[in-house]
Amino acid sequence: ALEDLAPGEFKIILGDMLARQLRVQAGDRVTVVLPEASLTPAGVFPRLKRFTVSGIFRVGADLDGQLALIHMEDAAKVMRMTGYVNGIRLKMDNLFDAPFVSRQLASSLDEAYYSVDWTLTHGNLFSAIKMEKTLIGLLLMVIVAVAAFNIISTLVMVVTDKTSDIAILRTMGASPRAIMGIFIVQGAYIGVVGTIVGTVLGVLLALNVSEIISFVESVMQMQFLSPDVYFISDLPSELRWSDVSIITGSALCLSLLATLYPAWRASKVKPAEALRYE
């Protein structure tokens, strides 16, 4: 734990992959070599310091093989910078505020200082994730559009099959608007029920996706997300009601629009022609 990094004890916490590469575990000692040379009577030697491994962390990313943590005062002593630091790190409540804050700091600081935010160090990764999210949203819209087309096809088949019944209703005094309303209500019912059922199932799946993936992996005796290939070993899920609302609203709108053409076609049925051969 970070609490074990007491000043003056020269303890170090290593990433899991780095510890395995060095073949060390908690309690072992490692030698830290600094990229600075020290001039001694025997000549020039790199600056060395022995640290005791107090813990090992694992985040499932590249940091496991690149990062080691020591106490700030120990780092200052090793770097011969006692009393001051060479940098600070700020944490934002909203990570997307980091570029703006970084630019503000850069404009207010002296030229001897510089500011770097996460969009410069890990920007490509987050840009790829953002693009993937956009593509997934488009894919969901395509799926909803296909479902809307199925509603159109179903209602058109109903109109074709019930042409004589529609003609009878017309002869009994039903207006084209009433006929149109019947099929709009029928299509809306299909769309609303399907949207509600799909939303409920999707929310339940999103809330339990990690457990479902773990169960499938245990049944199939295989691992879908290997930590040696991906940054993670399981599939995390964060339910955002704003995204759920957008997808649900889009599905409802498309399902309602899908009823217009079949309903209009039903309202245009002419009783005389429909009942000619009945």
Domain check: are 243 and 129 in the same one? Answer: yes
Cα–Cα distance measured from residue 141 to residue 148, given in angstroms and rounded to the nearest whole number: 10
128: containing domain: 124-274
pLDDT digits (tens, 9 = 90+) for 105-132: 888 887 778 888 888 777 777 777 778 8
Do residue 200 and residue 131 come from a single domain?
Answer: yes
Segment 253-265 shows an average pLDDT of 87
Do both 146 and 239 map to the same domain? yes
For residue 41, pLDDT beyond 70: no
Question: How many domains are contained in the chain?
Answer: 3
- Are 180 and 138 in the same domain? yes
> What is the percentage of the chain residues whose pLDDT exceeds 70?
90
176 lies in the same domain as 39: no
Q: What is the pLDDT of residue 42?
A: 60
pLDDT digits (tens, 9 = 90+) for 190-215: 889 988 998 999 899 888 888 888 88
Same domain, 69 and 165: no
- Please identify, among 59, 86, 113, the residue that sits at the C-terminal boundary of a domain: 86
Residue 184 and residue 262 in one domain: yes
What percent of the chain stands above pLDDT 90?
Answer: 5
2-25: pLDDT as tens digits: 777 888 888 999 988 889 889 998
Burial class (CB within 10 angstroms; exposed 0-12, middle 13-18, buried 19+) of 16: middle
- 259 exposure class (CB count in 10 Å sphere: 0-12, 13-18, 19+): buried
The residue to which tokens 């899991």 are assigned:
16
Among 34, 64, 86, where does a domain finish?
A: 86
Q: Is residue 55 domain-shared with residue 136, that is, in the same domain?
A: no
Q: Are residues 76 and 98 in the same domain?
A: no
212 and 97, same structural domain? no
| 82 and 94 in a common domain | no
Q: How would residue 226 be classed by pLDDT, with cut points 50, 70 and 90? A: low
DSSP result, the chain? -GGG--TTS-EEEEEHHHHHHHT--TT-EEEEEEEEEEEETTEEEEEEEEEEEEEEE--SSGGGGT-EEE-HHHHHHHTT-TT--S------SSGGGHHHHHHHHHHHS-TT-----HHHHSHHHHHHHHHHHHHHHHHHHHHHHHHHHHHHHHHHHHHHHTHHHHHHHHHTT--HHHHHHHHHHHHHHHHHHHHHHHHHHHHHHHHTHHHHHHHHHHHHT--SS-TTTSS-SS------HHHHHHHHHHHHHHHHHTTHHHHHHHHT--HHHHTTT-
- This prediction has a pTM of 0.57
| In a shared domain, residues 31 and 96 | no
Which of these three, 26, 59, 86, is where a domain ends?
A: 86
